[in-house]
Amino acid sequence: MIAAGVNDAARCVSGCTETFSLLGEGDYLMGGAKHNNHGLKTVFSKETRFPSMPVAGPNRRFAAMPGYLGGRFDVCGNKWYVSSHVDTQNGLPRSILTMMLNDRDTGAPLALMSANLLSAARTGGVRAPPPKHLANKDSKRVSIGGAGRSTRAASFRS
């Protein structure tokens, strides 16, 4: 990820802009019957009769986010999103993310990586294209509101 430019804000914005173009053309698939679901989530019950099964709690999420992106990327992948209220109590990030990329024909794994840095870069990178394309031509500044890591990831000039 580092070699691919995840720490280079301008490259992240460029990649997000290219991805938005592919989404606009329909050159993508996500999960679900209509190929547009933003993740398949495991929802825990408030109670369980199994002592080791987790129960519903604040910020407890497990989600698989499969997809295909066309264009020059032409790749399938899955982001595994996990968060739990106990993460930060144990010195971990609020969310723990993993990304798997696969060859679209064979399914062979191309990359398996921790995706917290990747997700932060994407979160910041998706905020730059809309103002760039929708703002008045004489605009000189843009303000991006958000909380926590999203704001820090978006704090760059493009």
Whether 13 shows a pLDDT value over 90: the answer reads no
pLDDT at 9: 83
> What gap in Å lies between CA 156 and CA 45, rounded to an integer?
41
Q: Regarding predicted confidence, which is higher, 131 or 68?
A: 68
Across the range 28-52, mean pLDDT stands at 90
* For the chain, percent of residues with pLDDT exceeding 70: 91
Q: 18 or 87: which carries more pLDDT confidence? A: 18
Residue 139: φ, ψ to 5°: -65, 140
Asked whether the beta carbons of 97 and 110 are under 8 A apart, the reply is: no
For residue 156, is pLDDT > 50?
A: no
**What is the model's pLDDT at position 6?**
80
SS (H, E, C) the chain: CCCCCCCCHHHHHHHHHHHHHHHHHCCEEEECCCCCECCEEECCCCCCCCCCCCCCCCCCEEEEEEEEECCCCCEEEEEEEEECHHHHHCCCCCEEEEEEEEECCCCCEEEEEECHHHHHHHHHHCCCHHHHHHCCCCCCCCCCCCCCHHHHHCCCCC
pLDDT in tens, 96-144: 899 999 999 999 999 999 898 888 888 878 877 777 777 888 888 777 6
